[in-house]
Amino acid sequence: MELTALTVKQYTELLGSDAPAPGGGSASALCGAQGAALTAMVARLTLGKAKYAEFEGLCQKAAEQAGALQSELLAAIDRDTAAFNKVSAAFKLPKETDEQKAARKNAIAEATLTATEVPFETMRLARRALDVCRTLVGKSNASAASDLGVAALNLLSCVRGAWLNVLINLGGVKDEAARARFQTEGERMEAEAAALANEIFNAVKAGL
């Protein structure tokens, strides 16, 4: 099932059911896609306005970058659920013989690594989108300022939600170097995202 092909009603009903997926990872990616889309919207609502002519180039670039990130984050909704399903399938593999046990162990390790990499990449995408969002503060259509603030909040939710999904899988990552990289870079991205989102939110709120 392609989650992004569902209606909003169908998606939220599935999310609220007893099905284990989609879950928090896909929901986080959706927050990111919404944040990037709102950022693109604010940029596009500024283009062509004489009052903001000096920011035309900046807004055109922001619209293109945010639009591309929106597409990637939208795709991450399905990638996250696919990664979860891969882990579930690995745990269901037979374990009656030594050979089966070894194959199952390897499959679980591989699937867990993927289930960690996917939300980690979602974090990266949302973190990049926050940079784009920040460029529009004070340089975009003031009538859409609140939308820019909502964009920042959605992107922060994405980063933090995806980070929780990294953390819950981190213990199962057998590669110590990879585990340390996820931990260090993830903590850095979460802190940077929080600072950026707070800066954007406070600047927007002060101007309303």
pTM: 0.95
Residue ranges per domain, the chain? 22-207
For the CA atoms of the chain, what is the radius of gyration? 19
To which H or E segment does residue 58 belong? helix 56-91
- Tokens 């859409």 sit on residue: 144
Q: What are 54-108's pLDDT values in tens digits?
A: 999 999 999 999 999 999 999 999 999 999 999 999 999 999 999 999 999 999 9
Say how far apart CA 153 and CA 198 lie, in whole Å. Answer: 8
Strand segments (E) across the chain? none
For the stretch 16-41, pLDDT in tens is 999 999 999 999 999 999 999 999 99
- The residue written with tokens 């802190």 in the block is 191
Question: Average model confidence (pLDDT) for the chain?
Answer: 96
Q: Could you tell me the CA-to-CA distances from 80 to 3, 14, 135, 136, 194 in Å, in that order?
A: 11, 15, 29, 30, 22
Q: Is the peptide bond before 20 cis (omega within 30 degrees of 0)?
A: no
CA distance readout (Å), 163 to 20, 101, 124, 166 = 19, 30, 10, 5
CATH number for 22-207 (one of 1.10.490.10, 1.20.120.680, 3.40.462.40, 3.30.70.1400): it is 1.20.120.680
